[in-house]
Amino acid sequence: MMLGAAMKVTGSKPLAHIPVKGDYCIHDWDRLARFMEVPWTMPENFPIATLAASRAFYWLDDDDPALAKRFTLAAYDTYFGQGRDITDPETVAEIAEPLGIDREALLAAIQDPVIKQRLKDETTAAIDAGVFGSPFFIVDGEQFWGADRLWMIKRWLRSGGW
Amino acid sequence: MMLGAAMKVTGSKPLAHIPVKGDYCIHDWDRLARFMEVPWTMPENFPIATLAASRAFYWLDDDDPALAKRFTLAAYDTYFGQGRDITDPETVAEIAEPLGIDREALLAAIQDPVIKQRLKDETTAAIDAGVFGSPFFIVDGEQFWGADRLWMIKRWLRSGGW
């Protein structure tokens, strides 16, 4: 879903734009990435509107969910791992190409009114389900917000909740 | 420190007052408390200005830091464990009494201009040190915000950082 739209519901600003807290968060993300030993480069443009990548995801997901997932990981790695702006559809096509995704078909899908509407509908559905941030998980109706709650989701799934 | 003053720096509103996110957080706190098996009652009045309790803390802390800590735990338990409003100095005195703290002396300390100034100075010092939320920890200049980062502080202290 488009996070900007979801954040409007709560009146939230992007963390990186908030005085003091933004600087702390950027430091914390870097520290977390070093701890987790995952590639991390704070993008110069952050946040961005990920319309192109999000539309590409839904286009792929209908036909091949596993491919859509691989594409998503590549898009995240390009943006957060390499710090490279992925706003431009051409960049999204470049990310998709090594996965065997046809460049022209992807660029056409990104402009397809049906796919555009799909992303809008998914965003509306997410907001209606109470999503206000990312990552956000819903497990049998139970909401979990934030990477900080992944441990809780694991325990919830194992135990059936409490 | 006075959290309201620290939150002004970032333009943050109390979580519980934020649409959608507030409801999620209240649910999450309850879920966390059940998981941790700690007493939890969401206070009807939340947040409150904890001037009386905070001044009492600094008054006690100068003479007896261990007593100040016991008082703090009792104040937290009264507010978050029992859900009872602790704004009123009389309530703070009532919390302190079973710990052997003299009621009249405490009530006088809460109105003492020196103690009032002390809390203001501590709040200013905290904000100057980059504190924008609570709980907030600074370990050898390294900032950690949130109960969600307690695991990281433990690892940081054990390893010397990364």
List pLDDT tens digits, range A63-87.
999 999 999 999 999 999 999 999 9
CA distance B94 to chain A (A): 34
Share of chain A above pLDDT 90, in %: 93
pLDDT of the residue at A53? 98
Whether B14 and B46 have beta carbons less than 8 Å apart is answered as: yes
Contacts of A148 in chain B (CB under 8 A): 146, 148
Distance CA A155, CA A115 (A): 36
DSSP characters for A77-146? IIIIIS-----SHHHHHHHHGGGT--HHHHHHHHT-HHHHHHHHHHHHHHHHTT--SSSEEEETTEEEES
pLDDT of the residue at A17? 87
CA angle in degrees (0–180, nearest 5) for A107-A108-A112: 125
What string of H, E and C letters represents the secondary structure of A12-29? Answer: CCCHHHCCCHHHHHHHHH
* Mutant choice from A1, A28, A144 vs B, greatest count of B C-beta within 10 A: A28
What distances in angstroms separate CA A63 from CA A56, A72, A93, A100, A101, one per listed residue?
12, 15, 17, 14, 12
What distances in angstroms separate CA B148 from CA A80, A146, B129, one per listed residue?
22, 10, 20
Whether B16 and B47 have beta carbons less than 8 Å apart is answered as: yes
Among candidates B9, B18, B27 on the partner chain, residue whose Cβ is nearest the Cβ of A11: B18
- Which residues, at least 6 apart from A98, have a Cβ–Cβ distance to it below 8 Å? A74
Three-state DSSP class for residue B92: helix
Residues in A whose CB is inside 8 Å of some CB of B read 9-13, 18-21, 23-24, 27-28, 31-32, 34-35, 130, 132-133, 143, 145-146, 148-149, 152, 155, 162
Q: What are phi and psi of B39, to 5 degrees?
A: -60, 135
Residue length of chain A: 162
Whether A23 and A66 have beta carbons less than 8 Å apart is answered as: no
pLDDT of the residue at B17? 87
Contacts of A28 in chain B (CB under 8 A): 145, 149
pLDDT tens, residue order, chain B (162 aa): 999 998 898 888 888 889 999 999 999 999 999 999 999 999 999 999 999 999 999 999 999 999 999 999 999 999 999 999 999 999 999 999 999 999 999 999 999 999 999 999 999 999 999 999 999 999 999 999 999 999 999 999 999 999
C-beta atoms of B19 and A9 within 8 A? yes
Can the peptide bond before residue B135 be classed as cis, meaning omega within 30 degrees of 0?
Answer: yes
Predicted TM-score (pTM) of this structure: 0.91
Distance CA B72, CA B68 (A): 6
What distances in angstroms separate CA B52 from CA A75, A99, B60, B83, B104, one per listed residue?
51, 62, 12, 17, 13
Whether A146 and A29 have beta carbons less than 8 Å apart is answered as: no
Read off the DSSP letter of residue A68: H
Distance CA A72, CA A59 (A): 12
Beta pairing partners, A143: A138
